[in-house]
Amino acid sequence: MRYSYPQRYFTAIVLFALPCIAFAHNVDTSDAAFLQAQSGVVFWPYFYLGAKHMVTGLDHLLFLAGVVFFLRGLRDVAIYVSLFAFGHSLTLILGVMLELNANPYLVDAIISLSVVYKALENLAQQRNWHFGVDTRAAVFAFGLCHGLGLATKLRQITLPEDGLLTNLLAFNLGVELGQLLALSAIVLLVFVWRQRPRFAAQATAANWLIMTGGFLLMGIQLSAYWVASSL
């Protein structure tokens, strides 16, 4: 079977991204050290790190790519992405401020499951199957999970209390800007791809690939949880 350039491009991104996605929520050592060294309100550094996280948080991007895959109107894209962003922002900020505790491996496994779910939902939509699940509610619920995933990683860093809420808001604004930039590229790619005559068949293959990636990531996180629990 011959593949179009958009499909080859999308497939290559997913395959090369998989090793990175497993650790997508992690805050690297240098960033963690920088955050711990700050005191008071430092808006722009937190804003930058938030945007950096979203651009490199490929599990988020894979899920959102699945969300917008078959949405045709910009209004629908805006509604679904806003629901995800609201859920993500809510648990990110409250999770850190209220010091919510959750096992990061299990949370990341649920995030991987969200990727599987969205790909499965897309495949079902192609065949006119219906899960009986409100898709908007599902996107919002998984947004809560994605935000909690990042909150658990930030909770592992001893962030200074002085100016914490303002800094978290700056971080979250950076996340949303990164999401907007990445989504603009995804929506444009899918729009161009949709004009090709074999889009339906290629979309099926792409969603199977996304689902497989989600299962692999879930397996990695559950294995890490098992290893950590055994120590």
pLDDT score of 80 more than 90: yes
What is the domain partition of the chain in residue ranges? 5-230
**For 20-79, what is each residue's pLDDT tens digit?**
444 445 667 778 888 888 888 999 989 998 888 887 777 788 888 889 888 878 899 999
What's the whole-number average pLDDT of the chain?
84
pLDDT at 113: 92
pLDDT at 16: 47
H, E, C per residue of the chain: CCCCHHHHHHHHHHHHHHHHHCCCCCCCHHHHHHHHHCCCCCHHHHHHHHHHHHHHCHHHHHHHHHHHCCCCCHHHHHHHHHHHHHHHHHHHHHHHHCCCCCCHHHHHHHHHHHHHHHHHHHHHHHCCCCCCCCHHHHHHHHHHHHHHHHHHHHHCCCCCCCCHHHHHHHHHHHHHHHHHHHHHHHHHHHHHHHCCCCHHHHHHHHHHHHHHHHHHHHHHHHHHHHHHHHC
pLDDT score of 1 more than 50: no
pLDDT score of 14 more than 70: no
The proportion of the chain whose per-residue pLDDT surpasses 70, expressed as a percent, equals 88
Mean pLDDT of 159-176: 92
**For 170-205, what is each residue's pLDDT tens digit?**
999 999 999 999 889 989 998 898 888 888 888 899
pLDDT score of 98 more than 80: yes
Per-range mean pLDDT, top range of 128-132, 155-159, 188-192: 188-192
Using 50, 70 and 90 to split pLDDT, how confident is the model at 222? very high
In this prediction the pTM is 0.83
pLDDT at 171: 93
Using 50, 70 and 90 to split pLDDT, how confident is the model at 147? very high
